[in-house]
Amino acid sequence: MIPVILSGGNGSRLWPLSRQAYPKQFLPLVGEQSMLQETLCRLPVDDAESPVVVANDEHRFIVKEQLEAIGRQPLSILLEPFGRNTAPAVAMAAIEVARKDPKAIMLVLPADHAIENVEAFQRAVAQGQEAARSGGLVLFGITPTRPETGYGYIAAGQSGEAPGAARPVSRFIEKPDAEKAAALLSAGGYYWNSGMFLFKASRYLEELNAFRPDIYDACEKAMQLQNNDMDFVRVDKAAFELCPDESIDYAVMEQTNDAVVVPMDAGWSDVGGFSALWEVSAQDENGNAFK
C-alpha cells in the first residue's frame, strides 16, 4: 500500500494563519507537528510503503524539509506548476505508482485533515484493503455527528457483511441545506464524504480513462515529459496546462459502478475554517481555545 499525500491546497479560509505561500498543511494547527507531518505519522507502519507527495512547485522545499524533520523518505515528490484539482493530482500519482508496482494500492489522503482517533483510522484503512485489492474504489465515509451543511454526503447501500465492512455506494448527495442535513442524519446510512480514498493505481487509471479521457491523456503526457530535478519530479507545464480542472468525485467516483464506502468514526475534521479549528482544539471552562 503506497500512501499518496495531496498537499496542493491553499487553506484560504484560515487566512491569515494560512496563506498562499505557507498554507495550512504546513502549520502545527492541532498538535506539535504540522498537519502534513501528522498525516504521515498516523499511517499504519506495517502496511504503508514510502509515500508519494503531490505538491505545488512553490512549496517543494517546505515539503522536503518537513519530511526530513520526521525521518520520512518519499517515493516521489510530484510538483504541479499550478493546481488542477484532485482528479489530475491523483492521476499523476497513480501513473508514478503504477510504474513502480502495477498491483500496488494507493491510500489517497489530503495533507490537511485532523484525525483524533488514529487506531480507528487505521482499522478503517485495513477494512478497505480487501475491497481495493478486489478492484473496488474505496472511499471513507465519516459517521456524521451533526446535521452538517458544509460537506457532501454518501448514501451507503445494504451489505450483509459485518459492521464497518465496505458497502456499495448508492448515491452521492451535494452539500445539503440544514433541513435536508437533519433528515439525512435522522435516517441513518449516510456519511460525510471525507475526500480519502483507497484503490489500485491501475483501477483508478482505467476508470479515469473511461469517464474522462481528456484528463487521463493530459496527465499521461505531462508525466511522459516529466523532468527529474534532484529529489523532485516536475511534470511538464505545457501539457499540464491543457488538463481540465476537476475533482476526483466528479471525474470518477460519481461515475464508476465500483465505488464502495468504508465507515469511519475517528474524530475526523478537514479543519476548513476557524470554527472547525476551534472544534478540534482544547477549550477552557469558558469555551475559549488558545494557541
Mapped onto helix, strand or coil, the DSSP state of residue 169 is strand
For residue 162, what pLDDT is reported? 65
Q: Say how far apart CA 204 and CA 208 lie, in whole Å.
A: 6
**10-residue mean pLDDT series, the chain (291 residues):** 90 82 89 93 89 93 94 92 92 93 92 93 93 94 88 81 78 89 87 94 96 96 87 91 93 94 91 86 90 79
Q: Say how far apart CA 49 and CA 18 lie, in whole Å.
A: 30
Task: Give the HSE-up count for residue 168: Cα atoms under 13 Å, Cβ half-sphere.
Answer: 8
C-alpha cell at 217: 491523456
Nearest to 93 by CA among 80, 81, 40: 80
For residue 249, what pLDDT is reported? 93
Q: Say how far apart CA 120 and CA 267 lie, in whole Å.
A: 9
For residue 164, what pLDDT is reported? 67
225, 130 Cβ separation under 8 angstroms: no
For residue 199, what pLDDT is reported? 96
pTM of this structure? 0.92
Q: What residues contact residue 175 under an 8 Å CB cut-off, 6+ apart? A: 149, 150, 151, 152
